[in-house]
């Protein structure tokens, strides 16, 4: 009973917060991001290869979709197989707004994100009480329904009415690019910058109150509730954020190439997206980048080599197995870890040799 | 003070709590009973994870059962879990800070109060360390720090000493005894380690098959004939 009275925090450890190791890692990661962004923004257009520029542009857009799925899966523990369908919805909304209003491009994309965010949240609402496999099945059903619906309505192409589609014209369903990014290289850069902004949005969330609440929810809803977290609210917030980002991606996709067609969004793409997101890794922010490249650039690579596209499904299946068996955190964390191990091995060998030269 | 009146919980055919009326006046109170007696279920009723079939719970004059479960932490109800639930993906500091920020703790006082809670439980690790890298003992202490940060009014500890070696349990007991005085909270301690319960709790209640079979000063309760019979044939010693 003789505990010394103390409530002034004098027992608090004097160590700095967070540890110095974390800071060094942050600097290294920041440098990696800067180099990657510089390559993406200036290296790729310098190649002057229109085909690969378009492929990488689409990869960047799918990176946003992968990021939204990785956020739900890796940070909150919710499986959604409906992200590709939401992407199609985002594309539809952006086209509809683009043809019906005179809003500037960036505003169209932003508003598309907001509307998709609301829709995605509403769709997720009944699914909130479900988890795991049930949530996956419900969202997959939703994706299939959207595919059917789109086949009936098609994408807006400047026609009248609410649906905005006219069968009388052959006009493509394409969104007008902004004046400052009308040529392909400039639009590609715009997409890369927008993708970067989505990553910033996610990082800001993960490092804040919401990210800490999600971490608790993912591990144990009971522990989250006992800590005072309004679990329903934070799950809805995650759904809204993921849907917003996917809507933005849809808007960007609507202006990216020759226009949107319903064949771009088959239901099985939702499952393939899940496979590449798992392969890329759901805990590292590099994971979605890898996933976007696997989703868009790998098929393009196979095409240029003249290999059958079905090979992809097999590759992705094997890839998910490999990742789950050997590195559940995904490729994006496996590669740096292997590199770090190599560096330690080399460093250790050199350190030992140097150590021998030192006087004992 | 917690006042439980005529509480009954039913899961289908099981009645883990059967007409229990009980008062925890303050300080550190013990809640014991053989396996399956209903101790964790009682905690789950207090935290709102289980809705009772009938009965009422008042805590410091407030009707606890009327509050939504996530609101109870803000009111001041905190708990640890029988299977420890510190958040692996967060650092020690963030584990405690997230409880502070979701229970209405003031931002300007966050850092100090979080470090204070970490200090109170005697955690001697870098607060920036990820909880996933810590050992079992330290994770339990993180969980207790989560339960005492800010302004707790009721702290429920569900078998905090489970799996700890004897010296550690003594340290734990000293720490638990400090919570009521330093944090101003009522502590309810569930544990199978009778020396820990005796050392921490002036009064203790005993559940057996969902019934309250004894309550009062801890030494008397442990000598009670009915309590000894309830524990007869179990591995535990009184
Ligand atoms: N969600 C549930 N559904 C059905 N039965 C349950 C549920 N939770 C607990 N029980 C039953 O209620 C009874 C009391 O369980 P409880 O976990 O409260 O016991 P306890 O006193 O905490 O035991 P222990 O010391 O082993 O932790 C047990 O028979 C248990 O099987
Ligand atoms: Mg129990």
Q: What is the mean pLDDT of chain B?
A: 93
User: Which helix (H) or strand (E) covers residue B155, if one does?
Assistant: strand B154-158
For residue A231, give the chain B residue with the closest CA: B70
Alpha carbon A130 to its chain's center: 23
pLDDT of residue A1: 37
Q: Ligand 2 centre from B159 Cα, in Å? A: 7
pLDDT of residue A228: 95
Q: For residue B37, which atom of ligand 1 is closest to its CA?
A: 21
pLDDT of residue A7: 39
Average pLDDT over residues B190-205: 94
Enter the ipTM: 0.91
B chain contacts of residue A328, beta-carbon cutoff 8 Å: none
A171 with A160: CB under 8 angstroms?
Answer: no
Out of A21-25, A151-155, A187-191, A261-265, least confident range: A21-25
- B40, B122, B127: which to substitute to probe chain A, counting the most A Cβ within 10 Å? B127
Q: What is the mean pLDDT of chain A?
A: 82
Residue A24 scores a pLDDT above 90:
no
Among the bound ligands, the one closest to the CA of B14: 1
Assign B73 to helix, strand or coil: helix
Nearest to B81 among A212, A222, A229 (CB): A222
Longest CA–CA span in chain B (Å) reads 54
Which residues 313-342 on chain A approach chain B with CB closer than 8 angstroms? none
Which two structure tokens, joined as six digits, stand for A336?
Answer: 């740096």
pLDDT, tens digit, for every residue of A197-234?
A: 999 999 999 999 999 999 999 999 999 999 999 999 99
In this complex, is the C-beta atom of A231 within 8 Å of any C-beta atom belonging to chain B? yes
Instruction: Answer positive or negative: Cα dihedral of A303, A308, A312, A318.
Output: negative
A8: distance to nearest CA of chain B, Å? 8
B chain contacts of residue A227, beta-carbon cutoff 8 Å: 73, 98-99, 102-103, 146
Longest CA–CA span in chain A (Å) reads 89
B chain contacts of residue A76, beta-carbon cutoff 8 Å: none
Residue B55 scores a pLDDT above 80:
yes
Task: Spell out the alpha helix ranges (H) of A39-179.
Answer: 44-46, 50-70, 83-100, 105-124, 132-153
Q: Do A13 and B119 touch (CB under 8 A)?
A: yes
Q: What are phi and psi of A282, to 5 degrees?
A: -100, -5
Average pLDDT over residues A56-80: 93
Residue A337 scores a pLDDT above 80:
no
Which two structure tokens, joined as six digits, stand for A188?
Answer: 């590609």
In this complex, is the C-beta atom of A106 within 8 Å of any C-beta atom belonging to chain B? no
C-alpha distances in Å from residue A48, one per residue of A53, A137, B156 = 8, 43, 66
For residue B173, give the chain A residue with the closest CA: A1
B85: distance to nearest CA of chain A, Å? 6
Contacts of B57 (CB under 8 A, 6+ apart): B2, B3, B4, B5, B7, B45, B46, B63, B64, B65
Q: For residue B210, which atom of ligand 1 is closest to its CA?
A: 14
Residue with tokens 């594309």: A91
pLDDT confidence tier of residue B47, bands split at 50, 70 and 90: very high
Q: For residue B38, which atom of ligand 1 is closest to its CA?
A: 18
Specify the pairing of strand B186-190 against strand B28-32: parallel
Among the bound ligands, the one closest to the CA of B38: 1
pLDDT of residue B235: 63
Residue A291 scores a pLDDT above 80:
yes
Nearest to A227 among B73, B91, B177 (CB): B73
Kindly list the structural domains of chain B, giving each domain's residue range(s) and its CATH number in brackets, ordered by start. 1-69+154-165+187-238 (3.40.50.300), 77-151 (no CATH)
Q: Do A17 and B48 touch (CB under 8 A)?
A: no
B159: distance to nearest CA of chain A, Å? 16
Collect residues with CB below 5 Å from ion ligand 2.
B 40, 82
Assign B90 to helix, strand or coil: coil
Residue A157 scores a pLDDT above 90:
no
Residue with tokens 């420890």: B84
Residue B164 scores a pLDDT above 80:
yes
Residue A17 scores a pLDDT above 60:
no
B181 with B165: CB under 8 angstroms?
Answer: no
B chain contacts of residue A333, beta-carbon cutoff 8 Å: none
User: Which helix (H) or strand (E) covers residue A291, if one does?
Assistant: helix A286-292
pLDDT of residue A333: 65
pLDDT of residue A336: 59
Residue nearest to atom 2 of ligand 1 (CA): B11
B chain contacts of residue A19, beta-carbon cutoff 8 Å: 126, 128-129
pLDDT, tens digit, for every residue of A31-48?
A: 888 888 888 888 778 788
Count of CB pairs separated by less than 8 Å, A with B? 109
- A226, A234, A236, A329: which to substitute to probe chain B, counting the most B Cβ within 10 Å? A226
pLDDT confidence tier of residue A12, bands split at 50, 70 and 90: very low
pLDDT of residue A332: 65
Measure the CA–CA gap between A225 and B99, rounded to whole angstroms.
10
Average pLDDT over residues B23-28: 94
Average pLDDT over residues A231-244: 95
Above pLDDT 90, what percent of chain A?
A: 38
Among the bound ligands, the one closest to the CA of B32: 1
Nearest to B87 among A6, A13, A223 (CB): A223
pLDDT confidence tier of residue A9, bands split at 50, 70 and 90: very low
B chain contacts of residue A231, beta-carbon cutoff 8 Å: 70
Name all residues whose Cβ lies below 6 A of ligand 1.
B 11, 14, 16, 33, 35-41, 82
Contacts of B86 (CB under 8 A, 6+ apart): B95, B131, B134, B139, B140, B142, B143, B146
């Amino acid at each position: 009973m003789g505990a010394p009275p103390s409530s002034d925090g004098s027992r608090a450890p004097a160590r700095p917060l967070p540890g110095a190791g974390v800071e060094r890692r942050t600097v290294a990661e920041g440098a990696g991001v800067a180099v990657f962004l510089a390559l993406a923004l200036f290296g790729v257009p310098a190649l002057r290869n229109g085909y690969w520029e378009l492929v990488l542009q689409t990869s960047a857009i799918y990176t946003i979709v992968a990021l939204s799925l990785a956020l739900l899966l890796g940070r909150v523990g919710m499986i959604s197989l409906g992200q590709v369908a939401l992407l199609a919805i985002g594309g539809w909304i952006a086209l509809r707004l683009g043809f019906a209003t005179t809003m500037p491009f960036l505003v169209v994309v932003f508003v598309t994100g907001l509307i998709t965010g609301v829709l995605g949240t509403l769709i997720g609402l009944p699914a909130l009480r479900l988890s795991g496999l049930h949530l996956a099945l419900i969202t997959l059903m939703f994706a299939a329904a959207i595919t059917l619906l789109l086949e009936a309505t098609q994408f807006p192409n400047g026609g009248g009415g609410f649906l905005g589609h006219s069968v009388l014209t052959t006009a493509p369903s394409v969104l007008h690019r902004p004046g400052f990014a009308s040529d392909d290289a400039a639009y590609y850069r715009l997409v890369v910058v927008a993708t970067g902004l989505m990553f910033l949005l996610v990082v800001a969330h993960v490092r804040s109150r919401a990210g800490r609440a999600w971490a608790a929810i993912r591990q144990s809803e009971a522990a989250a509730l006992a800590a005072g977290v309004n679990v329903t609210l934070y799950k809805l917030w995650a759904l809204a954020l993921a849907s917003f980002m996917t809507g933005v991606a849809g808007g960007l996709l609507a202006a990216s190439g020759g226009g949107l067609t319903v064949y771009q969004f088959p239901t099985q793409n939702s499952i393939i997206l899940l496979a590449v997101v798992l392969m890329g890794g759901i805990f590292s922010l590099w994971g979605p980048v890898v996933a976007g490249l696997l989703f868009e650039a790998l098929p393009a690579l196979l095409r240029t080599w003249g290999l059958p596209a079905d090979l992809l499904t097999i590759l992705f299946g094997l890839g998910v197995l490999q990742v789950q068996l050997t590195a559940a955190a995904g490729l994006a964390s496996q590669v740096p870890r292997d590199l770090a191990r190599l560096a330690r091995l080399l460093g250790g060998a050199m350190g030992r040799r140097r150590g021998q030269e030192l006087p004992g | 003070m917690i006042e439980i009146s005529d509480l009954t919980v039913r899961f289908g055919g099981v009645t883990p709590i059967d007409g229990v009326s009980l008062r925890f006046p303050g300080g550190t109170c013990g809640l014991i009973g053989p396996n399956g007696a209903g101790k964790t279920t009682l905690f789950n009723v207090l935290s709102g994870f289980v809705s009772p079939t009938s009965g009422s719970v008042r805590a410091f004059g407030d009707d606890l059962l009327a509050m939504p479960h996530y609101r109870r932490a803000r009111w001041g109800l905190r708990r640890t879990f029988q299977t420890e639930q510190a958040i692996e993906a967060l650092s020690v500091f963030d584990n405690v800070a997230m409880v502070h920020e979701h229970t209405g703790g003031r931002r300007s006082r966050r850092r100090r109060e979080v470090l204070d809670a970490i200090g109170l439980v005697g955690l001697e690790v870098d607060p920036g360390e990820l909880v996933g890298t810590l050992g079992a003992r330290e994770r339990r202490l993180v969980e207790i720090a989560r339960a005492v940060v800010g302004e707790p009014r009721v702290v429920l500890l569900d078998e905090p000493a489970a799996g700890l070696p004897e010296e550690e349990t003594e340290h734990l007991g000293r720490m638990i005894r400090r919570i009521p005085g330093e944090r101003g909270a009522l502590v309810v301690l569930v544990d199978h380690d009778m020396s820990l319960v005796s050392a921490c709790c002036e009064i203790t209640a005993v559940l057996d098959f969902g019934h309250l079979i004894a309550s009062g000063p801890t030494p008397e309760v442990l000598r009670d004939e009915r309590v000894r019979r309830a524990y007869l044939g179990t591995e535990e010693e009184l």
